[in-house]
Structure 1
Amino acid sequence: MGERLALIAGSGALVPEVIAAALERGHVLRLLTLSRRRDLRRFDPVPFTLADPAVAVDAIRSFNATAFVMAGGVSISDIARERLARFFRGGDRGGAASVGDAGLSGLASDLARLTGARPMGVHEIAPELLTPSGHLAGPAPSQAQADAAAYGLRLAHSAGALDLGQAVVVAGRRAVAAEDIAGTDALLARVRRFRRLGLAADGQSPLVLAKCAKPGQPRYVDLPAIGPVTIAGARRAGIGVIALEAGATILIQKSTLLAAADAAGITLLGLAVPDA
């Protein structure tokens, strides 16, 4: 029997894929949207903003949701983070400090407490989108590329422990850049600029984008993801290899993504995060 599922939708192509998977699995759906999306109008979504999360709480409660899932991109400013922390932790009675991504995971638990609905991860609704292990697309990696991919994933895991982003770019065994609050697209744009300035070049040290979940990250919140847009940005940045944590990274528009990696000559790998 399916869940009464409240889907909190951000931006991007992942959302329609999760909706389709949820309906196929027999879930009864109530859609809440954080951004204007004409493509989702037929689902009669409930719009809300992070400045007023009570709208979402009321919608989930009135739907008698048994579960909720968050899918798609969301840009959360420090001001919005403070408002969320005040709402879930302190009401309107006082201030609350901005919380990092680890803190946002705790706010999801607070949402469960306020609504009676349990959090679900995208991977529970659409497990077919998870990155499998192995060589997924593009040319077979050289030994130097395989070594750089493993190093990049270890470095991304370490960066995640600091509650930064979920991705890094390395050149061989040298860190080039780490993801921050601006996201993966901005990271790739920075690497592209570094290459134009001559600060980063692949040469004998292959440029690798590595992406993995943060240590201890609940799987129901913000699993790392890439899509065709990531491949395009990686190609412009001169990235030759993308290393993803197998079983913990979402492949958006999977068939299109793999075809784009093949066409761009970018090696795509699903790997376990190596031990430090």
Structure 2
Amino acid sequence: MSRIALIAGEGRLASAIASALDNPLAYALDHLTPEVEAKPFRLERLVPFLDELTDQGVTQVVFAGAIRRPRIEPDLFDQRTMAIVPKILMGMQSGDDAALRAVLDVFEEAGIHVVSVDEVLPDLVPGEGVLAGEPGSRDQKDAARAAAIVRGLGPLDVGQGAVVAQGLCLAVEALPGTQAMLEFVKLHAGLKPDPNGARGVLFKAPKPGQDRRIDLPTIGPDTVRQAAEAGLGGIVWEAGGVILLEREAAIAAANEAGLFLWSRA
């Protein structure tokens, strides 16, 4: 009987996916602390792990949640995994996107198909539309500017978000993540030239050319709260390319804070 396995990362996404699956097998890299009960595995023993999945009848896997790079312990490699180390290390040296693609290729070559989050739970990835509030003309200009910045940074494999207010880029997302970016914006609220002008937007989107089966940007009620604390006017994201967790709670939080939520085409 065919089964699907969940490769759980950190954050709430893994538990949302687990609740949607019928008796899933859940695994996680052993340096992570997912919110679901998951059996640990190590990257250094990736091939034996794939054997275990096959023995369990797994033909599909879905990756859900944030995955931090593990510290590699060379002494722990088995001989078969050692044979694919050059491919994985080459990917790691080329950036996060290349590293993830290298790992996905290994799964596919083992006959285990990697499915995307929206194949499992389509409602988690909103299509085009305004979900809360209403962006004004100045907000729309800031959103377009932020989208261009994220798109331009894509080839550099830097991040998946930016904050723009009154046409100025206040911050871009890097390794510390969205919360750290918004905390920076909160601390530097005085950078906006017109105190009475547009409050600014947080924009999120996948990197151009990103493999969308893994590492899609994610927002939720916590993001709304952080954006409100940073003094922003709304959150904008690329329609069909960003995961929205706890949609109703996020919309309620946005309405309460006076923020708009816009899934932008």
Q: What is aligned with 1:156?
A: 150
Residue type at the aligned position of 2:191: L
Cα deviation for residue 73 of structure 1 reads: 1.6
> CA separation in 1, counterparts of 2:153 and 2:87?
35
Q: What is aligned with 2:128?
A: 133
1:59 maps onto 2:52 in alignment: yes
Partner residue of 2:191 out of 181, 188, 199: 199
Cα–Cα, structure 1 residues 209 and 110, in superposed 2: closer, same or farther, change >3 Å? same
1:177 maps onto 2:171 in alignment: yes
> CA separation in 2, counterparts of 1:152 and 1:189?
18
Cα deviation for residue 248 of structure 1 reads: 0.9
SS in 2 for 1:98: helix
Cα deviation for residue 221 of structure 1 reads: 1.3
Cα deviation, 1:58-114, whole Å, max 9, x if unaligned, reads: 43233231111100122226x55x999xx5874389975634122123223333245
Q: Which range is displaced more, 225-234 or 87-96?
A: 87-96
1:36 maps onto 2:28 in alignment: no
Q: What is aligned with 1:115?
A: 110
Q: What is aligned with 1:227?
A: 220
SS in 2 for 1:73: coil
Q: Which runs of 5+ in 2 are unaligned?
A: none
Cα–Cα, structure 1 residues 30 and 173, in superposed 2: closer, same or farther, change >3 Å? same
Give the alignment's TM-score, normalised by structure 2.
0.86
> CA separation in 2, counterparts of 1:172 and 1:190?
17
Q: Sequence identity, in percent?
A: 32
Q: Which runs of 5+ in 1 are unaligned?
A: none
Q: 8 Å contact 1:208–1:243 — kept in the other structure?
A: yes
Cα–Cα, structure 1 residues 94 and 67, in superposed 2: closer, same or farther, change >3 Å? closer
Give the alignment's TM-score, normalised by structure 1.
0.82
Cα deviation, 1:210-240, whole Å, max 9, x if unaligned, reads: 0111111111011111011111111111111
> CA separation in 2, counterparts of 1:233 and 1:249?
17
Cα–Cα, structure 1 residues 236 and 94, in superposed 2: closer, same or farther, change >3 Å? closer
Partner residue of 1:210 out of 195, 198, 203: 203
Q: What is aligned with 2:95?
A: 100
> CA separation in 2, counterparts of 1:105 and 1:7?
16
Cα–Cα, structure 1 residues 150 and 94, in superposed 2: closer, same or farther, change >3 Å? closer
Residue type at the aligned position of 2:63: M
Q: 8 Å contact 2:236–2:264 — kept in the other structure?
A: yes
> CA separation in 1, counterparts of 2:64 and 2:150?
22
SS in 1 for 2:188: helix
Q: 8 Å contact 2:108–2:114 — kept in the other structure?
A: no
